Structure formats: structure tokens, C-alpha cells
Structure 1
Amino acid sequence: MSDLDLRIADSGLAAGAAKLTEDLVADKVASRIAAKDATLWGPDAESEAGKRLDWVDLATTSRPLVAEVTALRERLNAAGVHRVVLAGMGGSSLAPEVICRTEVRPLTVLDTTDPGQVEDALAGDLAATVLVVSSKSGSTVETDSHYRIFTRAFREAGLDPAGHIVVVTDPGSPLQARAEEAGLTVINADPGVGGRYSALTAFGLVPAGLAGADIGGLLDDASAAAEVLGRDAAENPGLVLGAALAARHAAGAEKVVFADTGSGIVGFGDWAEQLIAESTGKQGVGLLPVVVESATAPGFADAGPDATPVALGTDTSGALLSSSGPLGGMFLLWEYATVVAGRLIGINPFDQPDVEAAKAAARALLDAPPDAGGDAPAFTEGAIEVYAGDWLPAGKPETVAGAIGALLAAAPDRGYLAVQAYLDRIADASVAVLRGELARASGLQTTFGWGPRFLHSTGQYHKGGHQNGVYLQLTGSVRSDLTVPDRPYALAGLQRAQALGDANVLAEHGRPVLRLNLTDREAGLVQLATAIAAV
């Protein structure tokens, strides 16, 4: 029996969701999802959906991985290898990070191009390290860079990479061919599962299992949830949750604000952020997840009509919706709810048509970097260089506070602010507190994302969803850089190209982007906090 719990605090929303759920039950939507019916999202989506529905029975099909990963972990531990570093982006890293943080298992996650953060991972005991290289396509540029850098480091330390690298990828990917040629351990994932639905595939289970997480128990919980979620019943929580999200979207509440209220799961909102944003944010519609610090944080406690506060946990105070349960079940619940909401909103929840644009722009900038004169700041104040486009009003502000104020003023009614930090997620972690300060100052729903991680998550929504966002990019000078073996760039250049490339694509969509470059990160962050307080 599943331990999933879903509650709707608002009677009007409960009634609206119940009506939509009636129709979903009559159409046998739950059982058709469980049966992998690719016709549920219309003829235009059928081809893609037909290749992306294996996630519904992963609780069964992933079971052989438990023994395989356990045996691999024992072999590695016997050789003195017990420190797990995961190189992966988006769906290849978010789920295992949640699993390990929840079970308090050590896992170092590299979902960054910041050289300082990668150097920090390299500074650990390499002889005791296994690098899990996870990429569905086998060509993810960030992950490829980490793979090359760590391979060099292992060799320079006199270590055979074959004893320290495990590759997780789809069958037949270019990464698989390279890894097998190098004699590395390769574990294939199910190619019939999209990245953001891959929590219970090898992408989620291999790194988490190597770190010591109970992946068998995770699948047990998912199996119990699958029995409930596949039923055509009015009380099916996946149908009700999907219906409630779609009903709120139809009423103009396109943001979904997550606060943890005692779920026992650490970081679940970050995982759900990618699932929901990338699945629904397209064709000018969709649901924008906003992950906040607590139920008293700006954006949740004071959510307006454009947002739906969702509590992760049993304490539902201030929330319209709440959900709780074991992690394996919660993964599956939100996956069902997302594809149900997609059907009701009228989009294909399995494609990501706007993700490639930012990647292409970054590649173009790597091939032909702009010269210094073509990328000059509008002005510099202290340790912050200010870059902006022609969206700034006449008589451009000459202070950082003024530029931020101008960006906030450019947001439309019921718009949102996205803070994008292309910085070190460890050394510069304090920047995340600015999300709440900016939300309080602006009155806007405000997201915070680490770059380039968010490009594999909310990046799809930014370009494909509701076009009412304004964007604050934070970049920083680096003290030292890391070259990428056999590539014509170093990490700092890649990081810069990713930031500028995404900014260019957003500008092409007519969205205001303000980039603040910290010439001294420590001093710049202090100055930035002061400027925000003055807005």
C-alpha cells in the first residue's frame, strides 16, 4: 500500500480538480499512462511520447540494477575506492543528489563549468575516487569536459582511469564507444526514458547506489506507488495533483511555489523544478517552479493570484496543495502529475524544443569569442561590471542598485525574475540568499538557478514558456582556470560562453537581461547585497 498523501486546502480548487479528475477517470488516463499509450497527448506528440514512456514501470525493470550496483560498489571498496564524484547535468545529477542528501550519503556532484568548483573536486583523494560520468546523449559538453579533466588527473597521479571511472549512458551513444575503447565500466540506461524522468533508471540509481544509498528500498516505495497511480479512480493522487495544477494554470497561476514543510526529503524541489519546467514550458504556456527557502519565505507566504503554493510535507499552513510520502513514491507521483497536467494544458510533456538554442549560441561563442571591445560593460562600479542591452531606459542608471531597479521595473504585471548564478556552488553558496531579498524588494516571483545547471532545467521554460520573465545573470572572474584536454577552450571560457549564449537567446525573445560580472567575487557579493538592499 502506498504512503503517498495529497491534500488540497482550498475548497474551490478541490472542486475544480475533482471535475477534471472525473473526465480523466472516464478517459482511463491513468491506466493508459501505465500501459504506455502514446496517443494521450495528441497526434503531434505521439512519436516522441512513444519513445519516452518506459519510466512508468521502472520500479520493476530497474530491479536488476540493485545487485549489479551493489557488486560494483563492493569491488570498488575492496580496491580502496569509496569517494563518489558524479559528473552529470540535469536529469543525470538532480535525482541522485536528492537521494544521497536525503539518506545522508556523501556524493560530490559536478554540474558546473566553474573551474573553482571542479578544482575543489579534484583536490580530494583521487586514489579513493570513482568518477561516475553520466550522459544520456553521450555528448553533453559539461560532462565531457569533466571526463577529460579527471582522466588527465588520474593519469598524472599514476592511476589507471579504468579503475576509477564508471560511465552511465544510453546504448550506442558516442560516450559508450569511447568508454569501452578505454576499458571503462559501462552501465546502460533505458533509452525509452527521457532525462527528467530518469530518477529510477541507471542515471539515478548507479551514483546513489555506489554512494551507499538504499536503491532497493527506493524501488520498493516506487512499486507501491505505481499500483495506486495506475488506477482509474477519483482518489488517484497523480490524477488529482495534475488536475489541480492544470486548473490553477487555466486560472492564470502559472507559477508553482515549493516550500519544504517537513517532508524528510532534502532538495526535492530542485528535482521537481526540472521535471515541471522542462516538461510544460513551451508554446508560450507552462508551469514555472519556484523553489523557496521555507513556508515563511517571500513568494510562498505572500503568493499572489499568479502562483500556487505547494508544501512538501504534512504541514500545509499557507499552501493550496501539499504532497508527502517516501522518495521513490514522490518521484513517481510528480511524474504522473506532470504528464497529466501536460495533457490538460495541451502540450507534449516529453520534448524540449527550446533547449538547443542556448547550446548552439554557446558553441558559436566558443568558436568565435567576442573581442574585448565588443563586450564592454555599460559601466563599472566597485567590483561589479554592469552589462545590459537596449532595454534600459533613456538616461541609463550609473549604479548597480539603479540597474537592478531598472530590470525589476521592466517586468510585466505578474511577471517573474530569474536569478542565474554562473558561479561556484560551494565557495559562492552565500549568493543564494539574495533570491529572497530580491523577491521581497520586487514583489515578483523569483527563481534562483546555478548556471549552467539551470540550462538543463528551467532554461526550457525561459524560452518556451510564458514570456513574462526578466533575467539577472551573475558571473565572476576566476583566480585560476582549467584547460580541457584535446579541446580548444578552458572551463572559464566555456562558462562565459554559456552565460553569454543564453543571454543572447533571451534577448532574441525580447526579454531583458542584466549581467553583473564580479571582478572580485568576495567583494562583489558583499557589494551586490548592499545594492539590493538599496533597491
Structure 2
Amino acid sequence: MDQWLLPAWLNAAMGRRLEALEADRFGARLWEADATLWKPDDEGHQGVIRNALGWLSVFEAVRGDVATLESFVDDLRSEGYRSAVLLGMGGSSLAPEVMRDVLGVREGYLDLHVLDSTDPAAVLAVEAAVDLETTAFIVASKSGGTTETASFHAYFYERLKELDGDHAGHHFMAITDEGTSLQKEALDQGFRAVFVNPSDIGGRYSALSFFGLVPAALMGIDLERLLDGARAVAVACGPEVPASENPALRLGALLGEAALAGRDKLTLLAEPPLRPLGAWVEQLVAESTGKEGRGILPVDLETPGDPAVYGDDRVFVSVGLQTVAATGYAQQVMDLAAAGHPVVGWELGDVYELGGMFLLWEIAVAATGRVLDIDPFDQPNVQESKDNTKRLLAGFVAGGELLEELPEGDGRVAFPVDDDELPAALAAFFAQARAGDYVALQAYVQPGERVWDDLQALRLELRDQLRLATTLGYGPRFLHSTGQLHKGGPNTGLFLQLVSRDQTDVEIPGQPYGFSVLKRAQARGDLGALRAHGCRALRIDLGDDPGAGVRRLAALVAGALDE
């Protein structure tokens, strides 16, 4: 069941857009994998798009592999494997993480841990959480060369070699495209399996491919039932369904038209059982739409507030379960609609309709790309931060230290949280805020429940005082999610980069630096990329105790906003 609570002007704009999509046969041409739906006169984009539409068929094609995957998992279980660790970033890790948190781990199957942080304490925390001898490792990278994934792989392979010698590779499996360096390395190291994914699927569209289904199988998730959810959405959004009755095209038209009218902050609301879905939607929307100075900012896990704290740049999409009893949350949604905010809501029959949600959002975002006249399948600005990071690491290798300034320089690098000049810097920073801006908290710290709660409190203070949308992400994880939009989207962000001092480092085998240096280089590299785009960014060093640093910063922010 879905509901559409829209202002009259937006309902009319959506209707006109749906008529245009129908006249262009968008739905039918999409299922035909017609690349000319986007950027038809640009051969560069056409080459990318033609090789990016495999997600439209993979959820049916992969059914032929379900029995093989289930047999593979049964072998692992019979050999005594009890845990799995997924080493991957962005599109290689988000869908499995969502499936774990929404669908759960079936009794007797492998408990899944996800490592997507280069914080050395995070690496050690994952190692401490499992018994290496009974743990299977999934090295997941479409390109095969993702820096973080390769570093995780090197570390845990070395640890398994210490335990099992030449049999270390038997603890590992890889998911990658055909012909990558990871595929070759996996064969050389004797990996248990290499799952070669179709190369015509981008990472953020790969939830229903091997990248999602291999980890799902390890957790004992019912793959056929999950894929049935996708099949049901494929029927509801099929090539013969009129655009006006196609839920995915309706959502895509709505998001696109709202963004063109200035409502470009997609605020995700969900009942607790489905709340984890937002992290996956965040990457899909931000990386697909945030380019050419356009884009939609997804706002995930921002605790709902009174309608008065929201600006006129919001669109709300809520997801719930029909089986969950009515709560005050439903009233909050109705209050937002009554205040004039556009609200779209879905109620799913059960959690296995998650498979359908993956496909519905993919189709919707493809349609939004058409409305915004962008290519929803490329990510032109992601490489900038990576290049800066490589340059900083090369300087470390050559000189033995990580230069805090890029060669061209960009002013003061960071304020310690106890710096006497920080209050004035915060006041000046937030004085730049304008209606329609957003504040992004980028936390290069060890993920944890306590520090997350502290960061969320800071985030809500900023939202309520400034009436701006806020986002919160751990670095470098967010670089593979919202990072593209930060550089390529509208220059409306105020970026607070929060770093801390690691108490220990962990060596990366084969590299002359450890995870702490890598994380610091990634943070510094992204700051350089933001400033190269003229973005407003402030870097704050939280000190030795990130939680205490965040709490002190929150007090300083409150004071700065009261001035």
C-alpha cells in the first residue's frame, strides 16, 4: 500500500512529467535497456550507460545460481564455519548490511560482520569479534582495486597465513568483475571461490546480484523469496504499465520535479524494522544524481522533528510494515503533510518485500536521472579524493611523514577542539549558512554506539537551530556513498570534517604505512577535493577521545549559534 500526500502544485508537476515519460515510452524503453534515454547525443556517456543496465535482468538471471549458492553455504557450515566478514565499501557492502539488519541471520548460519572503516581500532574490533579459524572472509570489489578493500584483504590474509599457512586462502571468497586484479589474486592465493559478477552492473545497482546474494546466502536468507519481491515489483512497474500507474516512475517523477523546484532534500523516514534501508538508498540517490551541479541530497537517520524545524527544501519518503502496530510515527508523517511538505509513504506486507524495494528505488532513480537530464550511472567526481589520497601517501612513502598541507595549500588545516580560536571560527562558518543549504558531519573516528549518539545530538542541534537538512557519515565510508554529491552536486553544503588521534595503528601488509595513516590521508584528500570545488569546509581535531571531543564541540556549536 502506498500513499501520496502532495501539495497541489507538485502533484500537477508530477502529472505533467508522467505524461511526458509515457509519451517517450520511458517504461518500455527502460526494460529494453535503451541507453539513449539519458544523454543520447554524448557518446562518452552512452558508452558508460550501455554497460550499466544489467541490473534490469540480473534478479531473474541469478535465480539459476541459487541452488549452487545454497550448496556452497552448506559446505561451509558442515566444515564448522560460524561467522563471515565482508570486506568491502559502498555498493559492495551496503545491501548485505541492510539485509542482515532487516532480515536477520538464520539460526545455524554465518553471522555477518561488515568492515568498511579504515580506522585501525575498527579493524581490530572486527578481528576481536570473530574466531578467525571459523570465519569466512568475503573480499568484495567490482573494480578489484578498491584501496580499502585491498588493505583489509591483505591484513586478514596475513593473519590467516599465521594460523593456517598455505591453507589460508580456503577461508576466503571473492566477488568481483571478470578480469580484475582481485580475480587473479584470488586464484593465486587459493581462494575457496570466486564469484564473477556481470560487468554491466554498477556497484550501487548491484544489490540483487552476487554482491548482495552471496552474503545473503551465508546468513541463511531465503533467496528465492527475496527475489520474488523483486519479481513482483518488476510486474507492477513493467513495460506495459502506464507511467501514471507505475509506482517507481511516479516516485522518480516526483523526486525529479521536486528537486527542480528547490525541494532537493530527500528525507527518509522508516519504522525501526526497515530503518537500515536508508543507508542503501542514500548511496543510490546521492551517487546517481549528484553531478553537473545538480542532485538530490538523501537525509538518512535524522530523527523526525516538529514540522517547524524543516525548511521548504524537503521531500519526505516513509517506509513501514503493515504488521507493525500504529505508533506516534504515523502521526508525525501526517503532521508533515498538513504543514505543506510532500510526503510519500509505503507499507510493506513483510520484510522480504525488501527485494522489491531495491528494484523499485533503482527504477525510480533511473527515471529521476531522466528528469534532471543527468547520467545516473556515472560518478565523475569520486576519483578526485582518491587521487589526492594517493598523492599524500606517496609523500609519506618518500618523506616518512604525512604532509598536512597539499602542495598548493588551502589555508588553515584544522582547529583542535580546545583551540581558543575555534568558537569564533564556528560562528563565522555557520554565518555563511543560507536557506536551502545543508550541514554534513564527516566523522573519521571509530564507529560506535556512544560516539554515534553524541554525533546525532550535535546534528539535531544544528538542524533545529539553523533549520537546515543535516547528514552524518563515518569516513571513509561516506566517500563511497554521498561523496560524489558533495563535490559534483549543488554547492550548498557546509562540511564539518571531524578527525581524531588514533591510540594505535595497524600495519597493512605490503605497504610502508598502516591504517591510521591511510585514514588520515583519505580525510585530508577529501578536504582538498572539497576546497578545490569552492565548498565551505571546516576541519576539527577531536583529540584523543572522540566522544568527549564531540560533546565539547556540541557545546561550542550551541554557543556559536546563540550569538
Structure 1-normalised TM-score? 0.92
Seq. identity, %: 40
Match of 2:468 in 1: 444
Task: Tell me how far 1:102 sits from its aligned partner.
Answer: 0.2
Amino acid across the alignment from 2:158: R
Q: In 2, distance between residues paired with 1:528 and 1:361?
A: 28
Matches within 5 A, 1:185-200: 185-200=193-208
Amino acid across the alignment from 1:107: L
Matches within 5 A, 1:477-492: 477-492=501-516
Amino acid across the alignment from 1:22: E
Q: In 2, distance between residues paired with 1:254 and 1:492?
A: 35
Deviation sequence 1:504-525 (CA, Å, 0-9, x none): 0111111121111122124323
Matches within 5 A, 1:422-433: 422-426=444-448, 428-433=451-456
The answer on 1:70 being equivalent to 2:70 is yes
Structure 2 portions without partners, runs of 5+: 106-110, 322-329
Question: Which structure is higher in helix share?
Answer: 2
The answer on 1:26 being equivalent to 2:26 is no
Q: In 1, distance between residues paired with 2:8 and 2:222?
A: 39
Match of 2:559 in 1: 534
Distance 1:410 1:60, change over 3 A: same
Distance 1:372 1:35, change over 3 A: closer
Match of 2:304 in 1: 295
Match of 1:203 in 2: 211
Amino acid across the alignment from 1:125: D
Q: CA contact under 8 A between 1:257 and 1:309: conserved in structure 2?
A: yes
In structure 2, the residue corresponding to 1:172 is in which secondary structure? coil
Amino acid across the alignment from 2:212: G
Distance 1:12 1:456, change over 3 A: same
Task: Tell me how far 1:432 sits from its aligned partner.
Answer: 3.4
Q: In 2, distance between residues paired with 1:193 and 1:379?
A: 39
Q: CA contact under 8 A between 1:6 and 1:241: conserved in structure 2?
A: no
Distance 1:339 1:372, change over 3 A: closer
Distance 1:349 1:289, change over 3 A: same
Task: Tell me how far 1:9 sits from its aligned partner.
Answer: 3.7
Deviation sequence 1:227-259 (CA, Å, 0-9, x none): 111234121001111111111011111211111
Distance 1:432 1:78, change over 3 A: farther
**Which one is further off, 30-39 or 318-327?**
318-327
Q: CA contact under 8 A between 1:385 and 1:516: conserved in structure 2?
A: no
Match of 2:376 in 1: 349
Q: CA contact under 8 A between 2:309 and 2:463: conserved in structure 1?
A: no
| CA RMSD between the two structures | 2.1
Distance 1:333 1:368, change over 3 A: same
Structure 1 portions without partners, runs of 5+: 387-397
Match of 2:135 in 1: 129
Q: In 2, distance between residues paired with 1:112 and 1:461?
A: 20
Amino acid across the alignment from 2:377: F
Amino acid across the alignment from 1:164: H
Match of 2:429 in 1: 407
Task: Tell me how far 1:385 sits from its aligned partner.
Answer: 6.3
In structure 2, the residue corresponding to 1:178 is in which secondary structure? helix
**Which one is further off, 249-258 or 372-381?**
372-381
Q: CA contact under 8 A between 1:151 and 1:161: conserved in structure 2?
A: yes
Deviation sequence 1:57-116 (CA, Å, 0-9, x none): 222011123222211211111111120111110000011100110012242111110000
Amino acid across the alignment from 1:235: E
Task: Tell me how far 1:137 sits from its aligned partner.
Answer: 0.1
Q: CA contact under 8 A between 2:270 and 2:319: conserved in structure 1?
A: yes
The answer on 1:258 being equivalent to 2:255 is no
Deviation sequence 1:132-172 (CA, Å, 0-9, x none): 11000000000000000001111223363222111110111
Distance 1:55 1:245, change over 3 A: same
Q: CA contact under 8 A between 1:379 and 1:385: conserved in structure 2?
A: no
Matches within 5 A, 1:508-527: 508-521=532-545, 522-527=547-552
Amino acid across the alignment from 1:511: C
Distance 1:66 1:296, change over 3 A: farther
Match of 1:460 in 2: 484
Matches within 5 A, 1:129-208: 129-158=135-164, 160-184=167-191, 185-208=193-216
Q: In 2, distance between residues paired with 1:377 and 1:28?
A: 53
Amino acid across the alignment from 1:109: V
Q: CA contact under 8 A between 2:440 and 2:495: conserved in structure 1?
A: yes
